[in-house]
Chain A
Amino acid sequence: NAGVTQTPKFQVLKTGQSMTLQCAQDMNHNSMYWYRQDPGMGLRLIYYSASEGTTDKGEVPNGYNVSRLNKREFSLRLESAAPSQTSVYFCASSESWTATEAFFGQGTRLTVV
């Protein structure tokens, strides 16, 4: 069992470039999440998908789009990267969005120059 797998692990982008962060889980979980972590800020929710076919905004959604491709996969897209999006991005999944344990991927370190 790999758990939650994110790709890539590291990425450097130029301002204005686009990219997609991939996330896949093999735990048959219904809910998936994207967080960003900035120094001193803890983790903040960008978007989440409570179940296949649904997506909702979190605390900091501006500049991002998401796609719940199927039950296993949840991608995060930056259409036009900005230096303010330099961060570490974490994907997570849980059995449901109410009262169940969440598991995190290993993170993607993104730098926008």
Chain B
Amino acid sequence: GIQVEQSPPDLILQEGANSTLRCNFSDSVNNLQWFHQNPWGQLINLFYIPSGTKQNGRLSATTVATERYSLLYISSSQTTDSGVYFCAVLGYSTLTFGKGTMLLVSP
């Protein structure tokens, strides 16, 4: 099956800093999603982005499908951005998750 690798595994930021999270995948994909899992365990949809670039407020994402990677940008980070960020890709039939990037934003 498809392999999904996320980096870095952990990230600590000061409030106001910017960051880039990366997702590499091993094969062609039909779909790619970014999720934020908040400290209460809820999975929040951030982006559905099989290709191209999207922006939503301070967050943006870019997927380069031909090179098999996606990037999630967080600008002017806030403490509420803390949590785990997951990349998930759809290969033939099911969504496969990476192991996530744990982000801690300190005040």
Contact = CB atoms under 8 A, between A and B. Distances in A.
Given A41-B99, A104-B43, A33 B31 contact: no
Contact of A33 (B33, B95, B98, B100): B95
User: For the complex, would chain B's binding face be called helix, strand, loop or mixed by DSSP majority?
Assistant: strand
Interface of B: 1, 30-31, 33, 35, 41-43, 45, 48, 50, 86, 88, 90, 93-100
Interface residues of A, number: 27
Given A58-B94, A97-B93, A103 B45 contact: yes
B94 A48 contact: yes
9 contacts: A33-B95, A42-B98, A44-B97, A45-B94, A101-B31, A101-B33, A102-B95, A104-B43, A106-B41
Nearest to A99: B30
Interface string A18-35: 000000000000000101
